[in-house]
């Protein structure tokens, strides 16, 4: 399948590292470039704002990035029979002290979550929505969870997210899937495990942290 990833942030670059074509903001503008998606079978949307404080202070801009762009791309892909994959967040769940399934209640506790929930609502039937845990990887960058203070939550390495997304696409799946490492604290992964077996959280953290350590100057 011909696949394009739009959005070259922390997660988008993980797709690029695995050899996938990724467009950044300079290469693809949803406002004017939707027709460029016609040559692809699958569109993976990694565009979005995840800084919760920024979203609180810039709600309209956050809503545009996290919701309105999703609506535009999902609608366009539907008209062109292109598979649309949208990256959402597991922080939407109302229960944060036990694993949540994809059908459990959610709570939009801040502007960031309002925009992410709206983005999900703008998706069409047949789209694949991936609710990710907090992302980490082997790169020493600001958005890497391992470079911050850990907290009680579910965690998703970028490699696991890429591999899970591709497994679900190849399996022809639609709807909402939780995506995280095995050992997730706040998201139930039973649905995902029917199609993809994520590595244990501890082993994935050790692998990524080991690479960060080995790449230090």
Give the number of other Cβ atoms within 10 Å of residue 189's Cβ: 24
Q: Which two tokens stand for residue 105?
A: 């209640």
- Give 3-214's CATH code, choosing from 3.40.30.10, 3.30.450.20, 3.40.50.720, 3.40.50.1970: 3.40.50.720
pTM (two decimals): 0.77
**Nearest CA-CA partner of 112 in 91, 127, 96, 131:** 91
Query: Is the Cβ–Cβ distance between 48 and 65 less than 8 Å?
Result: yes
Phi and psi for 115 in degrees, rounded to 5? Answer: -70, -40
Per-residue confidence of the chain (217 residues) as pLDDT tens digits? 899 999 999 899 999 999 999 999 999 999 999 999 999 999 999 999 988 899 999 999 999 999 999 999 999 999 999 999 999 999 999 987 788 999 999 998 899 999 999 999 999 999 999 999 878 777 777 677 666 545 567 789 999 999 999 999 999 999 999 999 998 677 899 999 999 999 998 888 888 888 888 876 6
Cβ contact 106:90 at 8 Å: no
Q: How far is CA 160 from the centre of its chain?
A: 11
Listed in sequence order, the DSSP H helices in the chain are: 10-17, 52-57, 59-63, 69-79, 111-122, 158-170, 201-214
Domain borders along the chain are 3-214
């Amino acid at each position: 399948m011909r696949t394009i990833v739009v959005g070259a942030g922390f997660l988008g670059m993980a797709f690029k590292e695995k050899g996938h074509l990724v467009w950044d903001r300079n290469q693809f503008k949803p406002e004017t470039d939707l027709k460029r998606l016609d040559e692809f079978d699958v569109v993976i949307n990694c565009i979005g704002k995840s800084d919760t404080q920024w979203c609180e202070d810039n709600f309209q801009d956050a809503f545009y990035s996290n919701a309105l762009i999703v609506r535009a791309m999902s609608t366009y892909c539907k008209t062109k029979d292109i598979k649309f994959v949208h990256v959402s967040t597991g922080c939407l769940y109302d229960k944060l002290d036990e694993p949540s399934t994809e059908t459990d209640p959610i709570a939009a506790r801040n502007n960031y979550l309002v925009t992410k929930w709206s983005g999900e609502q703008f998706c069409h039937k047949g789209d694949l929505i991936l609710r990710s845990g907090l992302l980490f990887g082997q790169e020493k960058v600001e958005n890497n969870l391992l470079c911050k203070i850990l907290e009680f939550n579910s965690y998703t390495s970028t490699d696991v997210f890429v591999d899970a997304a591709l497994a679900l696409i190849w399996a022809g799946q639609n709807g909402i899937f939780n995506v995280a490492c095995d050992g997730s604290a706040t998201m139930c992964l039973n649905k995902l495990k029917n199609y993809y077996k994520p590595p244990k959280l501890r082993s994935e953290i050790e692998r990524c942290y080991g690479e960060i350590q080995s790449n230090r100057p």
